[in-house]
Amino acid sequence: MILNKNNNQEARKFFKKIVDIGTEFKIQDKVTGRHLSIEKGKKLITKFPEEGEPLEEVLQEFVNKILPYCTNFTSPNFMGFPDAGNSVAAIGGALLYNFLQQNLINQSFCGPSATFVEIAVVQWLREVVGYRNHEINDIWDVGGVITPGGTSSNTIGIMLARENKFPGAMQKGVLNPDQCWLIVPKGIGHYSVKSGQMWVGCGNRLIEVETNDFRYDLDDLGKKLEENKGKVMCVVAYAGDSRTMTVDNFSEIARVVRAFDKDIWLHADACHGFSLGFSKKLRYKIKGIEEFDSITMDPHKVMATPYVISTLLVKDPQKFKTVTSLSDLIMQEQFAFGQITPFLGSRPWHSLKLWFVMKNLGKKGLSDLIEKRHELAKYLADKLRDDSDFILLNEVEINSVAFMYIKGINFDDVEKLNAINKEIHRQIIDEGKYHLHQFSIPDSGKIKKDEILYPQRFMCGNPNTTEKEVDGMIEYVRVLGAKIRNDYKK
């Protein structure tokens, strides 16, 4: 059925069913209804049907065979990932952009009004991190692009760093790859930086700097810069590393790097931490980020906005000219985003859902959202700090708490500590009542400095999660831990 005037009433009924199904899914309490085995998953890979099927039958198959296995990020018990994507305004914007079919590659006929709405959103985000906005006369004044995710945004940031180090590399390639090195914090870097470096032709050339409490050791940063003089293309710092959400000291990093070499590109992966800029109370944590040349941010991680939407901002908007794409088809015009968005051609109006949520909540509402998450994470951290059954591995910077069950476990036996906590996590996921995240992380010194640990990671990303759910999660993990520890002895 192709939507037209003749069948629009039938289509409306179908769309209403879709909205009802989606709403019911998001308001359920359980994180996971059923678990999908690989064997069952393979059965979903069916043959392409020769004949089409009625919409009702297609929808019913989806409801019966696919929907029950989907993870519900919006459950108040889903505590392992950044955001629930449950803003009514943002979901409304997400529905609308699919209806409207605007294409942000071109302004004049593909996205006449959409382009300027997207420019407004980019300008608002620049304000959040302290970048200066300019009068908008053409696309080169905007200073940011919307991308499909943080990996894309980080890759574009590294690409800009490459052009800064090797002007004209877009045309000539990288002529001296041994000067393409990136500096990153040891053990906490995000994979997208390394991948982006390789994707833009610079090879796997990472220099890892020691950390203290998941931040750069500034003395070692200076040492590594001196040891690799002339080789460093970019220094990457995190506003919310992907494990503990620790925010680095941007002002001091900028001071150390600029004193050594003012031409080294500074890139901030602030996919999570840019959100602190919404809060007058918490904004001090990202002080100095405005000194960095590029900043990555992921609204889908922090602004109750459904996947996907990311942004790459550049301090000097004109820098996008170094990575421009040109075409005599539809991009050579005054406000074509296609000219300044590497790797992407046609792309949907993702920024519409962000426009809706920013207009709906405003600065005050977004500030309240971020501060509430921060306070709830601090609540959990305080409880764990006073509970001898657990150990807290990080201080709360944004909304993340890494912790381990330790009752009756000798700290010298890290293998046992990890084994029990891995089994706790496995059982949490199997049951599906709660969701916590788990990953490897070098210990900052709480148990054994630099030893690789496997903690539970709480992340407060749902405005519906309260202290009651947090208390329930702690007791749930405690009971699991005691049982698993006793079984481990056997």
Q: List the strands of the sheet with 400-405, edge to edge.
A: 390-392, 400-405, 456-459, 437-438
pTM comes to 0.93
Can you give the pLDDT at residue 209?
97
Rounded-to-integer distance, Cα 320 and Cα 339, Å: 9
Q: Model confidence over 140-154: pLDDT tens digits?
A: 999 999 999 999 999
Token look-up 């809060």 returns 279
Tell me the H-state helices in 397-466: 414-431
From CA 179, how far away is CA 266, in angstroms rounded? Answer: 15
Share of the chain above pLDDT 90, in %: 89
User: Which of 191 and 140 is assigned the larger pLDDT?
Assistant: 140
DSSP string, 139-195: GGGS-EEEESSHHHHHHHHHHHHHHHHSTTHHHH--S-GGG-EEEEETTT--HHHHH
Q: Is the model's pLDDT at 490 over the cut of 80? A: no
Q: Measuring CA to CA, which residue among 211, 192, 197 is closest to residue 162?
A: 197
Decide if pLDDT at 317 tops 80. yes
Q: Per-residue pLDDT tens for 84-130?
A: 899 999 999 999 999 999 999 999 999 999 999 999 999 999 999 99
| 420 closest CA partner among 456, 450, 385 | 456
Please report the pLDDT score of residue 331 as a whole number.
Answer: 78
Cβ atoms within 10 A of the Cβ of 365, count?
Answer: 16
Residue 475 has pLDDT above 90, yes or no: yes
Average pLDDT over residues 268-277: 96
Query: Does the structure show a pLDDT above 70 at 164?
Result: yes
DSSP string, 291-309: GSSEEEE-HHHHSS--S--
Mean pLDDT of the chain: 94
Average pLDDT over residues 217-229: 97
In the DSSP assignment, the letter for residue 343 is: T
Exposed, middle or buried by CB within 10 Å (0-12, 13-18, 19+), for 280?
exposed
Give 83-109 as a 3 state SS string. CCCCCHHHHHHHHHHHHHCCCCCCCCC
- Is residue 403 pLDDT above 80, yes or no? yes
How much is the pLDDT for 1?
A: 83
Q: Please give the structure tokens belonging to residue 286.
A: 């990202």
Stretch 269-293: mean pLDDT: 97
- Is residue 39 scored above 90 in pLDDT? yes
pLDDT tens figures, 60-83: 999 999 999 999 999 999 998 888
The answer to whether residue 297 scores a pLDDT higher than 90 is: yes
Q: Name the band, by pLDDT with cuts 50, 70 and 90, for residue 156.
A: very high
**For tokens 């959202």, what's the residue?**
369
| Residue 327 predicted with pLDDT over 80 | no
Q: Alpha-carbon distance 130 to 297, whole Å?
A: 13
Model confidence pLDDT, tens digit, residues 409-466: 999 999 999 999 999 999 999 998 999 999 999 998 999 888 999 999 999 989 999 9
Taking a C-beta distance cutoff of 8 angstroms, is the pair 198, 205 a contact?
no
Q: By the 8 A CB rule, do 87 and 360 touch?
A: yes
The average pLDDT across 268-274 equals 96
